[in-house]
Homo-oligomer: A and B are copies of this chain.
Amino acid sequence: MFSNSDPIRRLSNYRRVLCKLRALGFERFVSDNLGGALDISPAQVRKDFADYGLTGNKKGGYDVRDLIEKLNKILGKNELQKIIVVGCGGMGRTLMGYNGFSGEGMKVVAGFDSNPSLIDPRAIIPIYDINDMPEYIQKEKIELAIMTVPESAASKVSEVLKGCHIKGILNFAPIMLKSSEECIIRNINIIHEMENIIYFARKIGNED
């Protein structure tokens, strides 16, 4: 299960459960309970807590607020994470309007495109000419980008972003971009995901 093999995802899930506990009025908790709520073994929870310096276990367990604060620091939730969207076609504009970011301390602050008809500097989230992107990144100290450009533009755009010292890219273009030491890239390839699903769905079909 992917959720158990990805430490950051586990930390994020711990945080989410802790926020719910806090909302319910709990002040302390025992780490074994946390694992149970997430289908993660108590041993794994203890290892994660040790690996990421989540200390503070006393009689009666951990302090909920203290743990949330520590997790916020690790996950970058204690400061607003500004994101730019590069490529403002359908997927780009959908992600610019995605309302899941705001509750997680993330915000899309601008979009960039090469198509003049999409440029709209007066929109709530402005869309600028892609040629103005390097200046914007430097001025606004942007470190994160979502790439929703066509495959043909992906390689060049990623090089421009790396040249601007962007540190993290979420790439939706259907091309596998590699991380470097200065820039982490994660690729979401919808066609590949569907191909995987189709392959296994056909196996299910053939076993009937």
| Residues in A lying within 8 Å of B, measured CB to CB | 1-3, 6, 8-9, 12, 74-76, 81, 83, 90-91, 94-95, 97-98, 100-101, 104, 106, 143-144, 167-170, 174, 176, 178, 181-184, 186-188, 190-202, 204-205
A83-B191 Cα distance, complex, nearest whole Å: 12
Interface centre among A9, A81, A187, A193, by most chain B C-beta atoms within 10 angstroms, is A193
| Between-chain CB contacts (< 8 Å), 9 pairs | A8-B192, A12-B195, A90-B97, A91-B94, A94-B94, A101-B194, A183-B204, A186-B193, A188-B190
Is A191's CB under 8 angstroms from B101's CB?
Answer: yes
Instruction: List B contacts of A74 (CB < 8 A).
Output: 199
The quantity of this chain's copies bound in the complex is 2
Interface centre among A97, A181, A183, A192 (most CB of B within 10 A): A192
Residue of B nearest to A100 (CB): B191
Please give, as numbers and ranges, the residues of chain B lying within 8 Å of A75 by CB-CB distance: 195, 198-199
| With contact pairs A100-B191, A170-B190, A187-B2 given, residues A201 and B144 touching in the complex (Cβ less than 8 Å) | yes
Q: Are A198 and B76 in contact (CB under 8 A)?
A: yes
A198 CB contact (under 8 Å) in B97, B144, B178, B198:
B144
Not counting A12-B192, A106-B194, A184-B196, a sample of 19 additional A-B residue pairs whose C-beta atoms are within 8 angstroms of each other reads A2-B176, A3-B176, A6-B196, A8-B199, A9-B192, A12-B195, A75-B195, A81-B198, A94-B94, A95-B190, A100-B190, A101-B191, A144-B198, A167-B204, A167-B205, A183-B204, A184-B200, A184-B201, A186-B197
**Is there contact, CB below 8 Å, between A204 and B190?**
no
Residues of B within 8 A of A94 (CB): 90-91, 94
Whether A168 lies near B197 (C-beta < 8 A) is yes
Q: For A95, list chain B residues within 8 Å (CB).
A: 190
